[in-house]
Amino acid sequence: MVKNPLVDVFASSPVRPIQKHMEKVQETVAILPKFMKAGQKGDWKKAEELQKSISAAEREADKLKNSVRSHLPKRLFMPVSRSDLLELVTIQDRIANCAKDVAGLMLGRKMSLPEKLETQFEEYTAACVDVSAQTLKAINELDEVFEVGFSRREVKSVESLIKEIDKLEKRTDKQQIKLRRALFKLEANLPPVEVMFLYKIIELIGDIADYGERTGNRLQILIST
């Protein structure tokens, strides 16, 4: 019988597997800008390779998520509930799902972005990836909070990281509004079906930042227990 390596990790820390999951989530998301750049250049062979990398990383994140669900001890000697930790890993997993959905949709339709919106899309995508990266920073502080018994100093440190997540997410909201307005001005010159899918891509990319913020909110609840 093959032993799951996370079982030993759980024995020493019920938090570390959740951090490993978020690391894989961020790995998934970080590939997205490269994928979009390849697609914009019309290099669909490279884009397909990157899409496969995104899908592979997302599958690994799913495996880690399922392992957390299966092996997280039913009784935790910590001031947090098992259900709260499971909810945390569920929300952060959706970040990776969004990246996979964007790449799958764009590759499947071989979607190229309107040239006039290319820079805005690039900046918007990078900003959403930044939210996920900041979320990883906050999650990586969680074991420290538990080890020192939720000391006020460590809690405040994590809260400052969470505030930065909120700040970055609000920036993506503003970028999304501007991008939608810019697309609206171009609608008359684009095929209607293409416009519909462009709006969908904008939404899915924005969801990366939204789920990052929700992960931060859930983390705030955990450390405030």
Give per-residue pLDDT as tens, 121-154: 999 999 999 999 999 999 998 887 776 666 677 7
How far apart, in whole angstroms, are the C-alpha atoms of residue 78 and residue 146?
8
Among the listed residues 166, 24, 156, the one whose alpha carbon sits nearest the alpha carbon of residue 92: 24
Residue ranges covered by each domain of the chain: 11-223
Q: Which CATH architecture is the domain 11-223 placed in?
A: Up-down Bundle (1.20)
Residue 79 has pLDDT above 70, yes or no: no
Q: What is the pLDDT of residue 3?
A: 41
**Which of the 8 DSSP states describes residue 176?**
H
C-alpha separations of 145 from 157, 159, 175 in Å? 9, 11, 33
Residue 77 has pLDDT above 70, yes or no: no
Q: At what angle do helices 82-109 and 44-71 cross, to 10 degrees?
A: 160
Among the listed residues 223, 185, 193, 206, the one whose alpha carbon sits nearest the alpha carbon of residue 88: 223
For residue 16, the Cα-to-chain-centroid distance in whole angstroms is 18
**Range 169-176 average pLDDT:** 98
**Range 210-215 average pLDDT:** 98
**Range 72-99 average pLDDT:** 85
Helices then strands, each counted (H, E), the chain: 9, 0
91-119 pLDDT, tens digit each = 999 999 999 999 999 999 999 999 999 99
How far apart, in whole angstroms, are the C-alpha atoms of residue 171 and residue 213?
12
How far apart, in whole angstroms, are the C-alpha atoms of residue 37 and residue 88?
31
Q: What is the pLDDT of residue 11?
A: 44
40-72 pLDDT, tens digit each = 999 999 999 999 999 999 999 999 999 998 888
Q: What is the pLDDT of residue 75?
A: 62
Q: Give 112 or 183, the one with higher predicted confidence.
A: 183
Q: Which amino acid is at 24?
A: K
Q: What is the pLDDT of residue 82?
A: 82
CA dihedral sign of residues 79, 88, 6, 70: positive
Q: What is the pLDDT of residue 113?
A: 95
How far apart, in whole angstroms, are the C-alpha atoms of residue 17 and residue 130?
22
Per cent of the chain over pLDDT 70 is 89
Provide the 3-class DSSP secondary structure of residue 148: coil
Contact 116, 189 (CB under 8 A): no
Give 42-88 as a 3 state SS string.
Answer: CCHHHHHHHHHHHHHHHHHHHHHHHHHHHHCCCCCCCCCCHHHHHHH
Among the listed residues 157, 165, 129, the one whose alpha carbon sits nearest the alpha carbon of residue 141: 157
12-35 pLDDT, tens digit each = 567 889 999 999 999 999 999 999
